[in-house]
Structure 1
Amino acid sequence: MKDKSTIYIFIDEDVKPIAILESPVNFELDTTRLVDGQHTLKIVSRDPSGKEGIRLVPFEVRNGPAISIEGIAENAVVDGIVPVMINAYGKGDQRNFLIIGSETPQSIPFWVFVLLIAFVGWAIYYCVTSPLELLNK
């Protein structure tokens, strides 16, 4: 009789396991063979007495190019003409990182303009009032 548990590893709803191993296990999941999106890792363990345990681990695969969108959010309510900027870039592989195209240009936030106008207004006020204070002394 075996004294170790047997572990069956499934991806999504597959009926055929991708691996059958004895515990303890170190396992490398190759996500390059999976399509991008939501998946479930299903681990079934059977102990030497025949009892089974199941563990489901949901995960998301993003091996494809990263996609960045600015100008519209998910489930947004929009009206009229909406300017949308889309950038997609590959990440390379684990040995090489692709730097070209990996930065998404973004518009300047509104609050930066407000701070800039406030600073320029303060600077003009300071320049106008400072010489008057020196003359009063």
Structure 2
Amino acid sequence: MKEKSTIFIFVDDEIHPVAELQSPVNFELDTTRLVDGKHQLKIVSRDPSGKEGVRYIPFEVRNGPAIAIEGIKEDAVVDGVVPLMINAYGKGDAKNFLIVGSETPQSIPFWIFVLLILFVAWGIYYGISTSMVDLG
């Protein structure tokens, strides 16, 4: 019988593996035990002859409530008073989706106002120009 490779699964800089399994394997990583933020999965494979291979997979966990913010962007340079609109909402669980609070209100973008003003101005121009043609 052919011997199988052993797979060690580490999360971040842990000394002890999360799992030690024989290949091939299906593994479920429980991210609910990890804090939100950047992490790294380290997979070490050792074949029957003792040779090792390593693979690193960076990933980010976002189990906590989603946070939406309007009024400031990442790495923005600001001064004075900066009005912010912040919304946070949970995703619920796999069985129940939380609809309450999951929509983030947003202000109307500036370009919408510009389009509205241009459309109204065009409407006035069109109305006046067609009424002049009818009179003439």
Q: Normalized against structure 1, the TM-score is what?
A: 0.95
* Separation (CA, whole Å) in 1 of partners of 2:41 and 2:116: 51
Cα shift at 1:84: 0.6
Q: Does 1:89 align with 2:89?
A: yes
Equivalent position SS for 1:100: coil
Cα distance in 1 for residues equivalent to 2:131 and 2:114: 27
Counterpart of 1:131 in structure 2 is 131
Report the equivalent of 2:17. 17
Partner residue, 2:118: 118
Q: Percent identity?
A: 74
Check conservation: 1:42, 1:55, Cα contact below 8 A: yes
Shift of the alpha carbon at 1:135? 3.4
Maintained 8 Å contact 1:41/1:59: yes
CA distance in structure 2 between the partners assigned to 1:8 and 1:2 by the alignment = 19
Structure 2 unpaired stretches of 5+: none
The alignment partner of 2:114 has SS state of helix
Q: How does 1:41-60 map to 2 (within 5 A)?
A: 41-60=41-60
Given that residues 9 and 42 in structure 1 are in contact (C-alpha distance below 8 angstroms), is that contact kept between their aligned partners in structure 2?
yes
Cα offset for 1:59? 0.4
Aligned length: 136
C-alpha deviation, 1:134, in angstroms: 2.7
| Structure 1 stretches of 4+ moved >2 Å | none
CA displacement at 1:2 relative to structure 2: 5.4
Does 1:30 find its partner at 2:30? yes
3-state SS of 1:53 partner? strand
The 3-state SS of whatever aligns with 1:75 is coil
Q: Secondary structure at the match of 1:54?
A: strand
Secondary structure of the corresponding residue to residue 20 of structure 1:
strand
- Confirm or deny: 8 A CA contact 1:2 1:48 kept in the other structure: no
C-alpha deviation, 1:79, in angstroms: 1.5
**Residue number in structure 1 paired with 2:75:** 75
